Structure 1
Amino acid sequence: MATEAHETTSQLIQVVALLGAAVVAVPLFRKLRLGSVLGYLAAGLAIGPFGFGWFSDPQSILHVAELGVVMFLFVIGLEMRPSHLWSLRRQIFGLGALQIILSITALTLLGKAFGFPWPIAFVGAAGFVMTSTAVVMQLLSERGETALPHGQKIVSVLLFEDLLIVPLLALLAFLAPTPEAAVDASSRWTSIAIGIGSLAALIVAGIYLLNPMFRVLAAAKAREVMTAAALLVVLGAALLMQLGGLSMAMGAFLAGVLLSESSFRHQIEADIEPFRGILLGLFFLGVGMALNLTVVAANWPLIVGGVLAAMATKALCIYIVARVTRSSHPEALERAVLMAQGGEFAFVLFSTAAATGLIDAEVNANLTAIVVLSMALTPLVVLMTQRFIVKARAARPDDVEDVAGQSGSVLIIGFGRFGQVMSQSLLARDVDVTIIDTDIEMIQSAAEFGFKVYYGDGTRLDVLHASGARTARAIAICIDDHAAADRIVELARHEFTQAKLLVRSFDREHSLRLVNAGVDFQIRETFESAVQFGAAVLRELDVPEEDADAIAAQVRRLDAERFELETASNDTRAGIPLIIKNTNAPGPKPTPLTRPKRESKRLNDAAAGSGSDAPLS
């Protein structure tokens, strides 16, 4: 009993040490603008076997903490509908394949230049070419860039790298010198077939089982069971992929994609978020502990030189691929800096190579130290190069001014077609406005017509401050990027509470998100014009003008009722059909229409949306 009590106390001390290290280091590093990732890594190094020695087995912590990466990819998957993922197929298989092929070739040649035999050079290159999903996604998330176009390209490459896990492990088995490994190589085709079968099973289960399961659990009204079910989906998908020899992170990502159309998506994301944050932090702590300072000290010329050379080589390859695929210089530079490190999959690859006799223990330790150091250096490199990336982005014609020191009553973000039309009413009453946009050509064109538009990215807090958001009475978000609009809403709600928020909405689901975020006014960019268009068509068909106007009013009222019900139910895809015969609803009563019953029913169904969200954009 005493021994068991002592072990329990020891484990509790370790948990407290982990939490305490994170609580102290992360805020400190964020205060110094070094980022939370570097804070976790430094904390892990401090309490690990080569720091205070509070932990002797960082690998066991890493195995548990990998679930943080898994949950991170699940949350990313929830934001990607299958149609959106399909639209990224060229980036995943085109951009991803091009980047991997060029990088692995260059890194293999680099390994050979360092004096390693070809097989060892290839193993080192294969491990280093796999970017750290955890580091990159955390940095993108902190900057709110995951859903932006350049962020989506990075996510696409990371997905392709996850798909390479099985082929690379199979290739290692073929290269292995031991007879046992050669026999194992012949069975790799069976493993690939099992992997494909696991993938198919996950997709089938996601399509036919997940939504019915969550509907049953939601009917039971047990919040803790919904949380357990969310964890079950994530961990179950990860386990299925692991049993099939694939990446756990890829399994969780696919599960998220399959639930992205679900009406329970936001609830699931809210349930997973606390676990994701804690476990991801634990992962970075484990990586920090895994840095073997004894090995680094004994072989520092090789390791330091290897880290710098490998990061520079990989960054150059990524930059070249980005430029070849028509990315701008700032975007290519940023992608190269973010993805220049090795990743967590390298640990698996190196240990497998060591087990099959391809590399010895010393080479394994050196290669692992190179990867860990590259992961630790990435936040610092990003911080040091950020100024140059911002300068590259800021390079623009002399007649385009950066926004600075403005103080208009209304801040208009986005001056495209929507922003130009809405601004007319304000300018007609001599309202003092500040207008910002990132489209250089549009800014120059607007100047020709007497409009003063400043260059400024509304998703950046410093730009909002420079635009006068702190003193503005209203902030009008008129951009056509709903992800960026959501980011601006989040910043404005937190930092500029005195301003009214009016937002151009992309579609019905976006409108519901905006209402839940607490905006003061939102309007779908096509709804009102489409209602007016429909009324005009009726008038052209000789429908009396008062009847056409009455029908338009009914469509607006029914849509408003449906929207209110969906908002109350927090269901962004409810699609609740309402019937025009509802005479108790507020608003003007329509003029009775003298039409056949069948046509009236069809008109009612069309106005109500017929339970489908798609027509009511």
Structure 2
Amino acid sequence: MDAHGPNLITEGAPLLGFGLVFVLLFRKLGLGATLGFLVAGAVVGPQVLGLVGEAESKLVIAELGIVLLLFLVGLELSPSRLWRMKQDIFGLGLLQVVLCGIAIAGLVWGVAQFSPAAAVALGLPLALSSTAQVLPMLQSAGRLRTPFGERAFAILLFQDLSIVPLITIVAALSRNPADAGGPPGWLLGLYTVLAIAGLVLSGRFLLRPLFRLIGNLNEREMFVFAGLFTVLASAAIMQALGLSTALGAFVAGVMLADSPYRHELEADVEPFRTILLGLFFLAVGMMLDLGAIADRPAFVIGMAVLLIVTKTAVIAGIGMAFRMEWRQALALGLLLSQGGEFGFVLFTQAQNALLIAPEAASLFGAIVTLSMATTPFLMMFTRRFRADVTADATGEALEGPRHDGASAIVVGYGRFGQTVGQMLIGQGLAVTLIDTDPETIEVAGSFGMKVYYGNGTRLELLRQAGAADADLLLFCLDGDQLDADALHAVKHAFPHAAIMLRAYDRRSVVKLKGAPVERITREVYESAIAMARDAMRCVGVDETEIERTEDEYRKMDADRLGIQVETGDLYAASEKLFWRQRQRARTEEQPT
């Protein structure tokens, strides 16, 4: 076996084991998964137990988690929605990076007595926050799609965009002669524009036809491969140009946000994102230099406190300048008060540029990690002062639900689902439509209907489609694709949604005994009754008799179906067949 094989196994087991134990413990204490991963990494790493080493190599792999996170966030932001956020991205985001960078660089220069160039090389990276920590916190709290969440994300997105100019600034300050031949800043900016344009064109003319082809083949595994290929290819293009890999993945996600394959991609990529993001924080915890903290504890703790206080004050002030209510502005400042994962990258750049010593990079890496560890505590301890208000950032009351999630999800957009979906949309409900047939999706699109591709019986896909916020889950599928056990799993995962189901026939209804559904509709039941009414009317049956016949039929059929479901026997209560009941009644009415 390869020498790396045993290391992967022997190191993987304690990494995952300690991560599992500490995340469960910290979740139980209400402190969040991120802090659990950080502590687990510190304990299992070389600084404490020494069970796992080479944190830097693991961090390189784990950074894929950040790339996948930005891809998934991009899938939730259509270009039109991103355009609507442009003021927050280039206004709020720009002010945050510039003002926080200047303030923190001043602190580093004044408190730590670094040279001005070194203070800038350290202060600007510290202005960035942790996308990998903040976005999952917003997602788990259900606030990513609120006005507050959008503003937090706008700042994080601009921070990611600012990686290129920050790298350019560090290169311009470099004392390393080897950096003199590097590309100028304007060329990096041009690379960025060209790369984004290339990704946009690829998404439109290459990726969408590729996913349409895979959808026609109905191969879920190929969706996983194609989704990961999309993320890695877009990140690789950016990396080859010396740009932000996460930005490339984000642009690829935005380009597919309006495609019918968005929810299927989210469901397929999400597990990889979760695993790799956990590994990222484990690696960050392993890199925590406890020796540096032990040598200068007052400096590390003091600088971490100053970093948090400064960023909170500056971001809260900017938020209020953008007409945010003070509680929301404070919450925004606290949420973004930590240092970010890109700080490690920029500290390495500064070290290679001979602006700071390796000891300084290690010391400020510890400050970033410590600040990240405080965020769950800060959010928990200040919850009382940050009581949510029912107003958006402009102080106006929010109307309707505070999310973009669907009020109803219709799974199956065939001849049955089309009627259900269109009537609900006509009533003004927000409806998400899901189907597995690319041709149906394209035909529906030609009529202006937005139908997403995916297997709507999968819990992961339903979750990505917004089932946690939905009021109704309507399964309009052909045949017997769901049983009682599957519906119990759906109800357990989404307890607040009312479930309704299209059943193929009586046999299907009998099989669904005990299923947690509000209503089961046999697909041809109502249309058959309507045709029978028209037939009786055509041969001159009185309208009153037609009404009486329908009422009797519905009652007898319901009674018989109830007995069949209870006994599980399709032949039970056969004497209650409507025609037999009517025949018996006519026989009794005839004179002897």
Instruction: Mark yes or no: TM-score above 0.5.
Output: yes
Q: Deviations over 1:130-171 (max 9, x none)?
A: 111001112111211111111011111111111111111111
Q: State the one-letter code of the partner of 2:263.
A: H
Partners of 1:305 and 1:196 in 2: how far apart? 40
Q: Deviations over 1:39-64 (max 9, x none)?
A: 11111111011121112211111111
CA distance in 2, matches of 1:573, 1:161: 37
C-alpha spacing 1:387/1:72, structure 2 compared with 1 (3 Å): same
Distance of 2:341 and 2:293 partners within structure 1? 19
For 2:445 and 2:258, locate their aligned partners in 1 and report how far apart those are by CA, in whole Å. 16
Structure 1 counterpart of 2:133: 135
Q: Aligned match of 1:167 in 165, 168, 172?
A: 165
- 2: distance between equivalents of 1:310 and 1:334? 16
Distance 1:230 1:175 in 2: 39
Name the aligned partner's letter for residue 365 of structure 2.
T
After superposition, the Cα gap between the structure-2 partners of 1:155 and 1:112, relative to the gap in structure 1 and judged at 3 Å, is same
Give the counterpart of 1:119 among 117, 120, 138: 117
Letter in 2 for 1:164: S
Q: Which runs of 5+ in 2 are unaligned?
A: 448-525, 532-592
Percent identity over the alignment? 36
1:46 is matched with 43
Q: Which of 426, 450, 454 is residue 527 of structure 1 equivalent to? A: 426
**Residue 225 of structure 1: aligned partner:** 222
* CA displacement at 1:8 relative to structure 2: 2.6
Query: Which one of 8, 19, 27 corresponds to residue 30 of structure 1?
Result: 27
Q: Is 1:19 the counterpart of 2:10 in the alignment?
A: no
Flag the 1:352–1:567 CA change in 2: closer, same or farther, 3 A: closer
Please state how far the C-alpha of 1:191 moved relative to its aligned partner: 3.4
State the 1:180 CA deviation: 2.9
Q: 1:573 & 1:377 partners in 2: Cα distance?
A: 49
- Select 1:309's aligned residue among 306, 309, 324: 306
| Structure 1 position 7, deviation (Å) | 4.9
Distance change >3 Å, CA 38–CA 257, structure 1 → 2: same
- Residue of structure 1 aligned with 2:88, choices 75, 86, 91: 91
Asked if residue 8 in structure 1 is aligned to residue 5 in structure 2, the reply is yes
Over residues 572-601 of structure 1, what are the superposed CA-to-partner deviations in whole Å (9 max), with x where a residue is unaligned? Answer: 7752679xxxxxx95989xxxxxxxxxxxx
Match among 171, 178, 184 for residue 180 of structure 1? 178
Q: Is the 8 A contact 1:74 1:253 kept in 2?
A: yes
Match of 2:367 among 359, 370, 376: 370
Name the residue aligned to 1:347.
Answer: 344
Paired with 1:220 and 1:529, the residues of 2 have a C-alpha distance of 35
Contact (CA 8 Å) 1:195, 1:246: kept in 2 or not? Answer: yes
Whole-Å separation in 2 of the counterparts to 1:170 and 1:576: 45
Amino acid at match of 1:329: W
Partner of 2:519: none
The verdict on how the C-alpha distance between 1:56 and 1:576 changes in structure 2, with shifts beyond 3 A counting, is closer
- Partner AA of 1:67 in structure 2: L
Post-superposition shift, 1:182? 3.4
> Does the 8 Å CA contact 1:177/1:357 hold for their aligned counterparts?
yes
Which residue number in structure 1 is paired with residue 69 of structure 2?
A: 72
- Any idea what SS the aligned residue of 1:234 has? helix
2:360 partner letter: V
Match of 2:202 in 1: 205
CA–CA separation in structure 2 for the residues paired with 1:28 and 1:42: 11
Q: 1:264 to 1:167 in 2, by over 3 A?
A: same
Classify 1:529/1:311 alpha carbon distance in 2 versus 1 (closer, same or farther; 3 Å).
closer
1:174, distance to aligned residue in structure 2 (A): 1.1
Is the 2:100–2:127 Cα contact (8 Å) retained in structure 1? Answer: yes
TM-score, scaled to structure 2: 0.69
Distance 1:53 1:513, change over 3 A: farther
Relative to structure 1, is the Cα distance of residues 326 and 229 closer, same or farther in structure 2, using a 3 angstrom cutoff? Answer: same
* Aligned-partner SS, 1:388: coil
Q: Structure 2 counterpart of 1:169, which letter?
A: I
CA shift, 1:270, in A, is: 0.9
Distance 1:102 1:67 in 2: 30
Q: Separation in 2 of the partners of 1:97 and 1:441? A: 25
> In the alignment, what sits opposite 1:156?
154
2:66–2:273: 8 Å Cα contact kept in structure 1?
A: yes
Structure 2 counterparts to residues 303-342 of structure 1, below 5 A: 303-342=300-339
Larger Rg: 2
Q: Which moved more, 1:337-346 or 1:99-108?
A: 99-108
In structure 2, relative to structure 1, the CA distance for the partners of 1:52 and 1:514 (3 Å cut) is farther
Partner of 2:142: 144
RMSD: 3.3
Tell me if the contact between 1:234 and 1:252 (Cα under 8 Å) persists in the aligned partners: yes
Alignment match of 1:106 (pick from 97, 100, 103): 103
Structure 2 residue aligned with 1:575: 444
Residue aligned with 2:386, SS: helix
**Residues 130 and 345 of structure 1 are in contact (CA less than 8 Å); yes or no, is this contact kept in structure 2?**
yes
Query: Residues 93, 12 of structure 1: CA spacing in aligned structure 2 closer, same or farther, 3 A cutoff?
Result: same
Which string of whole-angstrom CA distances, capped at 9 and with x for unpartnered residues, describes residues 86-122 of structure 1?
Answer: 1111110011111112111111111122122211111
Q: Is the 8 A contact 1:74 1:234 kept in 2?
A: yes
Shift of 1:192: 3.2
In structure 2, which of residues 403, 418, 438 is the aligned counterpart of residue 483 of structure 1?
A: 403
Which consecutive residues of structure 1, in runs of 5 or more, have no partner in the other structure? 397-438, 443-456, 458-478, 487-502, 531-562, 579-584, 590-617
Aligned counterpart, 2:268: 271
Would the alpha carbon gap of residues 329 and 188 (structure 1) be closer, same or farther in structure 2, given more than 3 Å must change?
A: closer
* Rounded Cα–Cα distance in structure 1 between residues aligned with 2:83 and 2:117: 36
| Paired amino acid for 1:96 | G
Deviations 1:252-306 (A, max 9, x none): 1111110111111111111101111111111111111110100111121211111
CA distance in 2, matches of 1:441, 1:119: 45
**Count of matched residue pairs:** 445
Q: TM-score, normalised by structure 1?
A: 0.67
What secondary structure is seen at the aligned counterpart in 2 of 1:483?
A: coil
Q: Indicate conservation of the 8 Å contact 1:35/1:379, yes or no.
A: yes
Once residues 212 and 332 of structure 2 are traced to their aligned partners in structure 1, the CA distance between those partners, rounded to angstroms, is 41
Q: Residue by residue, what CA displacement relative to the aligned partner does 1:179-232 show, whole Å, maximum 9, x if unpaired?
A: 333343x64443333333222211111121111011112222222112100110
Name the counterpart of 2:466: none
